[in-house]
Amino acid sequence: MNANQVFPYQQHKESFQNTVGMFFFLLLVETSVVFLLIGIFAKDMLIRNGLFVLAGALLILVLGWMISPLWTRHSLSATHLHLRYGVGLRADIPREQLLSARLVRERHDPMQAIAAQHEEKTERLRIALSDKGQVLLRLAQPVLFRFWPNGGGAATSILLNVDDPERFLSALALPEEVIRQIPTFQQERKADSPRTPLAFPPPDSAPLALHSEGLHRQFGGFAAVRDLSLAIRRGEIYGFLGANGAGKTTTIKMLVGLLEPSAGRIFLAGHDVWAAPLAAKAALGYVPDSAILYERLSAREFLAFLGHLRGLPADESRARAESLLAVLDLTGRADEPCGSFSYGMKRKLSLAGALLHQPAVLILDEPLNGLDPRSARRVKDLFLELAAGGTTIFLSTHDLATAESVCDRVGIMHQGQLLAEGRADEVRQLTNAPDLEAAFLALTAEQEVAA
Amino acid sequence: MRLMQFWWQVQWRTLQRDSQARLTAGVLLALSLGMGLWSATSLSAQVAQWGQAGTELLTGRLWLLCLLAWVSVASVGLLGTVKKAFGDEETLLLHTLPLPPAARFRALYAWLLGDHLCNLLLIATLSIGVGLGRIALPWLFLFLAGSALVALLVLLGLFLVVGALLPRGWRGVAWVLVGVLGLVGGASGLWGAGLLPSTWPAPEVAGAALLLTVGLLVGPLGSLLGRQYETAFQVAQGWDRRQRVHTLPGLDRLIVYLSRHRTPDSALLVKELLQRSRSRFHLPRLAVLPLYLLLFGWLYPLAAARGLPDSGIVVAYTVALVMLGGIIDSNPSPIGSEGNRLTLLLVAPLSLTDILRMKLTSFLWSLLALGVLVGLLLGLWVGLPLLVLAQSLVAIALMLLGLAALFAWGSAWDEDLDLSVTGEAQMFIQEEVPVTVVRIALIQLGFSLLGLMLAVVWQLPLLLALPALALVDGIVLALAWHVARAKLQWLVRAG
């Protein structure tokens, strides 16, 4: 145990490399301009050469600093965790300061990866190159980090990447009770795989519109979704609930054909999403968790583009777009560029885009995020109208009150598995909880203890 | 004055506590010192020359120098001041505090002189101070006092334009015109009547007068200017800030025509036309196109003197121009620039084959339109026979097809489905700038391909060159297609 165990990070560096490439290009252009100016204005040979050397050295120094995170090598000794991130951060944390650790996958801004970052709000030290292989370490008490050039600050958690996060977790050898709270994928699989959800059967009056069998998605050693089977009928509103990182967005990406499952099959309106993708996608309307728009187009032009893309007749596309703009209260701003819209307006426009071709199945990832109460009410009413007309709605949300009031059935995801499924009152009965929020908390807490 | 003192304290503490601010200030200071000292050496040589020609000429030239420097101060001062004075968060906060109007005006003035113009004043001060040597002091005094007054006049002018003239619409513009014409007319009249002094005043006297005026305007008249500022601020708060989309004249007809064809290809083409034509750099790019065409007149004799055939010169110049202007400078990554917006195509009932085909055709059409237009103009310019001109245009089209396939499909390797493209700056970088490793690699490959194609055009007779170019296109299209398809499949598989 005396020798240090080294944990480098050599994988998934593409986005970082692209960012560095961008800066390198800019630096190269700027240095060329500086060289040109020196060549033009510095007449004295000695001064000119001196300035050339100075500018070249500065370029090499800055470039070296920028690419240094590529050689990230954290290590673990008997007494300390040694963090090494680029040339800016060198920190040694006593192992008794480490409280817990878990695998995470957090959104990542490659611009921030160039140097260590301190997030003041969350008291977090961020030394991650990508969103893959991330480990979140929690510290027993705030530790002061100093790094160049951002200064630093006190942190109670550290987000970092390692190539082999599971080896890193086991090497940390945290106290046993802590380890139990952060089970690795293999441990969980052995303990309880496959887990049968506490489910009530779906109403069987209507044909299945969205159906998955044994859906599974693995990212390296981490299973984001495990053995998920769903059966949602025509005209049903299904609430897909779960905490952050429960596997909701991964499931949705698989359902809409943006992510290939490691195992399992998905049927949309009777068509296999991966075997007959065009037929399945023709029946699909999708609203992602962030509004995806072409910001230089106006709202009206954006909807016209989507209608055109799906081959809707021009008149029909125009009429539906106008109707949706009116229903979602966007008519007054329909000729303004989408980029000037507020977050909530962008979300509404994204929803209008998904509804334009009157899809049989609507898959929505947090569609009510950022909407004002009046808009949220309108959208919920719209969901009820659509479902009454036969549209199937798969609604991922954190808002349990909305799920309880709007959804016919809900499914609760936790750590990639469906914990429970049924009508809101049925799920409440499972834990004798007064409302869905209490049921959700009780069910997910039970699962933590069982693990 | 306490507010100005407080503002300076805030700046100082920011420098003490924020390492990034210190670094930025340090770099700016070093740059200013460098530029100031460099311009001082040039100025000192110039001053020595003027001095030899007599004191009168030296004084006149130094006055002219100060006037030019004040014009720069006014121009730089105006840039950014509109946002700071009427839309900045700090300013909005300042207007909610219980402060007299004069204090707000002085705070804005302190920002303009102490922050916004600081580097320019430092460079000019160094340049005049070092460049003039022993006679520097009175001229430095004149320059700084004049700059302080010019900054004040910039603010006053801004307040009057925003608060009094703009609300009056065309009548306001008419008043400005009448005012300017009156000033010019009055000055000419005085000049003609010999009432203007024939010699420049001494710099120390003029500097003192300017400083006195500044003192009056900031001190006793500060409330008056503050009220003007408040009026202008209120007017600016009432501005309709809603943006409208604008379509270039003529483009709307093309869009209506394309929209009749309800295919995904025409949908993407319409979207690209609208999206690209609304880039802030689109019009400047169009504006410099005639300059590039004129440059051909200079390059053509040089190339012809080397024995290159006219058709080869026209083809080479046209394709190089389209590659630089239509690809590298404006759209170097047709697929990669989509970022997470590619999701809109991936969830539509389109196969990967459809998506790749659509991206190529929508990219190729604009390049072909530009290439054929430029090729035609240049071909007519050098007087190519009709048949050779037609063959040249076919060669241009074939070369652009290969390059378009390389950039459009090769850029699939630049695609990141998690990359959100929001905001004007990010849209510009993501859509129009060759800044990623893949884009730089594509540019290098593009130049290699261009070199190969030009070698074919220059070495073979045009009639033989066309099938050879078609063969090169076939190879490029097949390779780029497989590479792009593999990458898109990987994106969907890996997530």
The values of phi and psi at residue B336, to 5°, are -60, -30
Interface residue B246 vs chain A (CB under 8 A): no
Is residue B296 one of the residues assigned to a domain? yes
Question: pLDDT tens, A373-404?
Answer: 889 999 999 999 999 999 999 999 888 888 88
User: Which of A178-182, B58-62, B104-108 has the weakest average pLDDT?
Assistant: A178-182
Q: What is the CATH number of the domain that holds A240?
A: 3.40.50.300
As for how many domains chain B has, the answer is 2
Do both B83 and B120 map to the same domain?
yes
If asked whether residues A257 and A386 sit together in one domain, one would say yes
Provide the pLDDT for residue A108.
67
Q: Please tell me the distance from the alpha carbon of residue B321 to that of residue B288, in angstroms, as a whole number.
A: 12
**What is the domain extent for residue A159?**
1-179
Same domain, B203 and B284: no
- Give B429→chain A minimum CA distance, Å: 9
CA nearest to B276 within chain A: A296
Report DSSP state, residue B116: I
Give how far A167 is from chain B: nearest CA, Å. Answer: 22
Does some domain include residue A3? yes
Q: Are A393 and A387 in contact (CB under 8 A)?
A: yes
Q: Is residue B108 part of a domain?
A: yes
pLDDT confidence tier of residue B168, bands split at 50, 70 and 90: confident
pLDDT tens across A112-123, in order? 777 888 887 778
Give B437's pLDDT tier (boundaries 50, 70, 90): confident
Q: What is the mean pLDDT of residues B234-252?
A: 84
Quickly list DSSP for B165-226. Answer: IGGGTHHHHHHHHHHHHHHHHHHHHHHHTT-S-SSPPPHHHHHHHHHHHHHHHHTTTHHHHH
What is chain B's mean pLDDT, rounded? 89
Give CB contacts under 8 A, 24+ apart, made by B171-174: none
Residue type, B443: I
Q: Which band of pLDDT confidence, cut at 50, 70 and 90, is reported for residue A175?
A: low
- Closest CA of chain B from A138, distance in Å: 27
- Which position has the higher pLDDT, B218 or A170? B218
Assess if residue A89 is contained within a domain.
yes
Q: Is B193 on the interface with A (CB under 8 A)?
A: no
User: Residue A260: which of B18, B427, B492 has the nearest Cβ?
Assistant: B492
Q: Are residues B83 and B178 in the same domain?
A: yes
Q: Which of A158, A179, A200 is the last residue of a domain?
A: A179
Residue A258 with chain B: CB contacts under 8 Å: 343, 346-347, 417, 492, 495
E strand or H helix at B74: helix B55-78
In a domain, A333, yes or no: no
Confidence bin at A50 (pLDDT 50/70/90):
confident
Nearest in space to B359 (alpha carbons), one of B383, B334, B322: B334
Output B436 or B197, whichever has higher pLDDT: B436
Q: Which residue of A has its CA nearest to B263?
A: A311
Contact A172, A75 (CB under 8 A): no
pLDDT-derived band at A451, boundaries 50, 70, 90: low
Peptide bond into A149 cis (omega under 30): yes
Print the domain residue range for B205.
2-237
**Domain shared by A30 and A172, yes or no:** yes
Mean pLDDT of B161-183: 84
Whole-number Å distance between alpha carbons of A423 and B114 = 66
Q: What pLDDT was estimated at residue A197?
A: 54
DSSP state of B239: S
Q: What is the pLDDT of residues A219-231, one digit of tens each?
A: 877 889 999 999 9
Confidence of residue A370 (pLDDT cuts 50, 70, 90): confident
CB contact under 8 A, B267 and A305: yes
Q: What letter represents residue B441's amino acid?
A: A
Contact call for A340 and B343, based on CB within 8 A: no
Q: Which residue of A has its CA nearest to B427?
A: A295
The string of pLDDT tens digits covering residues B72-120 is: 999 988 887 888 888 788 888 888 888 889 988 988 898 888 888 888 8
Query: Which residues in chain A are contacts of B427 at CB distance < 8 A?
Result: 295-296, 339
Determine, yes or no, domain membership for A254.
Answer: yes
How are beta strands A198-199 and A417-422 bridged, if at all?
A: parallel
Please report whether residue A425 resides in a domain.
Answer: yes
Instruction: Say whether B435 and A305 touch across the interface (CB within 8 A).
Output: no
In-domain check, residue A339: no
Q: Which residue has the higher pLDDT, A205 or A159?
A: A159
**Which residues have a Cβ under 8 Å from the Cβ of B229 and sit 6 or more positions away?**
B85, B101, B104, B105, B108, B155, B159
Contact criterion met (CB below 8 Å) for B420 and A109: no
Q: Are residues B142 and B196 in the same domain?
A: yes
In the listed set B204, B237, B270, which residue is the last one of a domain according to the structure? Answer: B237
How many domains in chain A? 2
For residue B368, the number of C-alpha atoms closer than 13 Å in the C-beta half-sphere is 14
From A179, A201, A233, give the residue that closes a domain. A179
pLDDT digits 0-9 by tens, B342-379: 999 999 999 999 999 999 999 999 999 999 999 999 99
Q: Above 60 in pLDDT, residue A157?
A: yes
Could you read off the pLDDT of A253-266 as tens digits, one per residue?
A: 999 999 999 999 99
d(CA B218, CA A267): 74
B376 vs A378: CA distance, rounded Å: 57
> Do A205 and A279 sit in the same domain of this protein?
yes
* Closest C-alpha among A116, A231, A107, A104 to residue A162: A104
Measured in residues, chain A has a length of 451
Please tell me which residue, A285 or B463, carries the higher pLDDT value.
A285
Q: What is the pLDDT of residue A19?
A: 73
Size of interface A-B (CB pairs under 8 A): 142
Closest CA to B265 of B383, B362, B385: B362
Compute the nearest-CA separation of B118 from chain A (Å).
23
Where does the pLDDT of residue A203 fall: very low under 50, low under 70, confident under 90, or very high at 90 and above?
low
Q: What mean pLDDT do residues B396-419 have? A: 94
Residue A424, pLDDT above cutoff 70: yes
Query: In 3-state terms, what secondary structure has residue B306?
Result: coil
- Measured between CB atoms, does B23 come within 8 Å of chain A? yes
User: Do B357 and B265 touch, CB atoms closer than 8 A?
Assistant: yes
- Most B CBs within 10 A among A292, A333, A362, hence the mutation to make, goes to A292
What do you get for the CA distance between the two ends of chain B, in Å? 59
B85 reaches A (C-beta below 8 A): no
**pLDDT recorded at residue A178:** 41
Task: For residue A191, give both structure tokens.
Answer: 């303990």
* CB contact (8 A) between residue B245 and residue A308: no
Most confident of A60-69, B122-131, B297-306, B402-411: B402-411
From the list A387, A296, A293, the residue with the least C-alpha distance to A348 is A293
Which chain A residue shows the shortest CA-CA distance from B416? A15
Residues of B whose CB is below 8 A from A293: 341
Contact check, Cβ <8 Å, A309/B344:
yes
Looking at residue B16, its pLDDT comes to: 78
Q: In the prediction, which pLDDT does A381 show?
A: 92
In a domain, A55, yes or no: yes
- At residue A265, φ and ψ (nearest 5 deg) are -130, 155
Q: Is residue B441 part of a domain?
A: yes
The verdict on a CB contact (< 8 Å) between B343 and A288 is yes
3-class SS string, chain A: CCCCEEEECCCCCHHHHHHHHHHHHHHHHHHHHHHHHHHHHCCCHHHHHHHHHHHHHHHHHHHHHHHHHHHCEEEECCCEEEEEECCCEEEEEEHHHEEEEEEECCCCCHHHHHCCEEECCCCEEEECCCCCCEEEEEEEEEEEEEECCCEEEEEEEEEEECCCHHHHHHHHCCCHHHHHHCCCHHHHHHHHCCCCCEECCCCCCCCEEEEEEEEEEEECCEEEEEEEEEEEECCCEEEEEECCCCCHHHHHHHHCCCCCCCEEEEEECCEECCCCHHHHHHCEEEECCCCCCCCCCEHHHHHHHHHHHCCCCHHHHHHHHHHHHHHCCCHHHCCCEHHHCCHHHHHHHHHHHHHCCCCCEEEEECCCCCCCHHHHHHHHHHHHHHHHCCCEEEEEECCHHHHHHHCCEEEEEECCEEEEEECHHHHHHHHCCCCHHHHHHHHHHHHHHHC
Q: Are residues B256 and B158 in the same domain?
A: no
A171 & A120 share domain: yes
Q: How far is A17 from chain B (nearest CA, A)?
A: 7
Domain boundary among A179, A203, A232: A179
State whether residue B436 sits within 8 Å of chain A by CB: yes
Is pLDDT of A194 > 60? no
pLDDT tens, position by position, A131-145? 778 888 888 888 888
In a domain, A7, yes or no: yes
Nearest to A258 among B18, B270, B346 (CB): B346
Q: For the residues B484-491, what does the mean pLDDT come to?
A: 91
pLDDT higher than threshold 60 for residue A60: yes
- All residues of chain B having their beta carbon less than 8 Å from the beta carbon of residue A148 are 19
Inside any domain, residue B244:
no
Average pLDDT over residues B158-165: 88
Give a yes or no: residue B379 inside a domain. yes
Same domain, A249 and A146: no
Please name the residues in contact with B148: beta carbons below 8 A apart, sequence gap of 6 or more.
Answer: B113, B210, B211, B214
Judgement on whether residues A165 and A205 belong to the same structural domain of the protein: no
Q: In what order do the strands lie in the sheet with A134-147?
A: A98-104, A134-147, A151-161, A124-127, A117-119
